[in-house]
Chain A
Amino acid sequence: MIAALDNIERKDVDLEGLFSESHVGEVIEQLDRELVGLAPVKQRVREIAAFLLVSRARAQLGIESEMPSMHMCFTGNPGTGKTTVAARMADILQRLGCIRKNTLVTVTRDDLVGQYIGHTAPKTREVLKRAMGGVLFIDEAYYLYRPENERDYGQESIEILLQAMENNRNDLVVILAGYKDRMDTFFRANAGIRSRIAHHIEFPDFTQDELLQIAELMVAGMHYRFDDESRKTMRRYIEHRIQQPNFANARSIRNALDRARLRQANRLFARAMNGERTSSEALTLIDAEDLLPSRVFQNATT
C-alpha cells in the first residue's frame, strides 16, 4: 500500500479549479438561498460535494480508489423538505460527475411492489431500469416492508433493490426517505439495507423564525406579500399551530397560505360587489384579515 503511494507523481492538484469548473458552488448557493434552516443537511451536502471533488482530483493523479457509494437515507418529520432536497440532489450529483444524467425518478411502494406472485420482480426492475444513470428516490420507503403480513411482496422488492444498489453502484444512486421512527423500524428489519447506505441524513424540525421565513419565501414565490400587520398575525399563527396536533412544518404553512389566498380572493370579491375599486396592491396583499379566521386562532386560548 505504502509502496503504491510512493509511485504517485508528486504534483499539486488544482482543487479550486475543479470546484469552479463543476459549478457545484452555484447549486450549493442556490440551496442556501432557497432552503431555510436545515443546517445539518446543508453541511452534509457540502461534505459530500467536497468528498466527490477530492475523489476526482485523486483520480486525476491516478490514485486508484473505488467510486464511493452515494446511497442516502433522509429521515425527518413531515414537511421538513426531504423531497425538495432529493430533487436538488440529482442536480448536485450530476454536476459532481457522480451520476451521468440529471434524472430523478420518484417512486413509492405502489410503483415497486406487485399485486400477485411474479409481478414484483419485473415491476421493480422496470423502475430500476428507468432510474439507471440517475437518482432513484423512494418516498415513504418504510411502506416497502410490512411486518404484519408474512407473504407481503415488499420483501422481494427490497431484495432486488439491494442487489441493484450493490451491483450497479456506479450507475445508480438510491435515496430513501421517510419518517424517523418508521424508518428505524424498517432498518431494524432489514439490516442489510442500512449498511449499504452510506449517508444517513436527518432533517430537523424548523424553528418558528425559520417557519416565518419560509412563509415569506412561499408568499413571494406566489407573487403575494405580507404587510406588517399580517406578518405579525402569521407569526402568531405559527406559534399556535406548532402546539396543535398534526403539525407538518413547511407543509402546514403552505396549506395555511393556500387557504389565506382563498379568503383573500373572497374578500376582494365581496368588496368589489359593494362597489369598491380593487387596486393592484390589494390584489397582491395577504391581509391579517385573511389569516385571522383560521381555525387555529379560534381554538387558541389567548
Chain B
Amino acid sequence: MRITQGTFSFLPDLTDDQIRAQINYALNQGWAISLEYTDDPHPRNTYWEMWGLPMFDVRDAAGVMYELYACRKMHPNEYIRVNAFDATRGFETVRLSFLVNRPKEEPEFRLVRSEGPGRSIRYSLQTVFPGERGLS
C-alpha cells in the first residue's frame, strides 16, 4: 500500500531536482533541515530515527543532498523524510515535512480487534511488513 504521509504525498514521488528545489525553498525561509528514517510508517510512529543532527548551519541544498545520498545508501529500503524546522518564536515547529525515499515493497496495515474491560471492543492499526502477510 502506498503510504501517504507529509506534504506532496499524493503526488508522484519527487525527483532529486524537485527535492533540491524544496530544500532550497526551506533554507531560504531560514528553516533548519533534518533527515529522519524508519521502517515502520505507522501513523502513530511520530519519532523516527534521526540521521545525524539537524543541520542548523547548512546554507545550501547540496549539503543536505550529500547527507540524503549517504542516508539512502545506508537505508535504501526504508522511509526517509526531510523535515524543515522553523525556529521563529510563535512557530517553533516543523513547517514542512515530506518523504524522499520509500521501500520497494511497502508495508500494509491491519485492523486489530481486541476486547477491553466490560466486553467493550477496541480497534487498532497494526503494521504488516511484506513477507509477514501470511500470518493473518
Contacts and interface: CB of A to CB of B under 8 A. Distances in A.
A133 B57 contact: no
B66 A168 contact: yes
B60 interface: yes
Nearest to B69: A167
B58 A168 contact: no
Interface stretch (A18-26, A29-37, A124-132, A151-159): A124-132
Interface residues of B, number: 12
Interface in B18-56: 55
A131 B57 CA distance: 9
B103 interface: no
A171 B63 CA distance: 9
B67 interface: yes
A261 to B, nearest CB: 36
A214 B67 CA distance: 44
A132 B70 CA distance: 15
Contacts of A172: 62
Interface of A: 100-101, 103, 125, 128-134, 168, 171-172
CB-CB nearest 4 A-B residue pairs: A133-B60, A132-B63, A171-B62, A132-B62
Interface of B: 55, 57-64, 66-67, 70
16 contacts: A129-B63, A129-B66, A130-B58, A130-B59, A131-B63, A132-B63, A133-B59, A133-B60, A133-B61, A134-B59, A134-B60, A168-B62, A168-B66, A171-B60, A171-B62, A172-B62
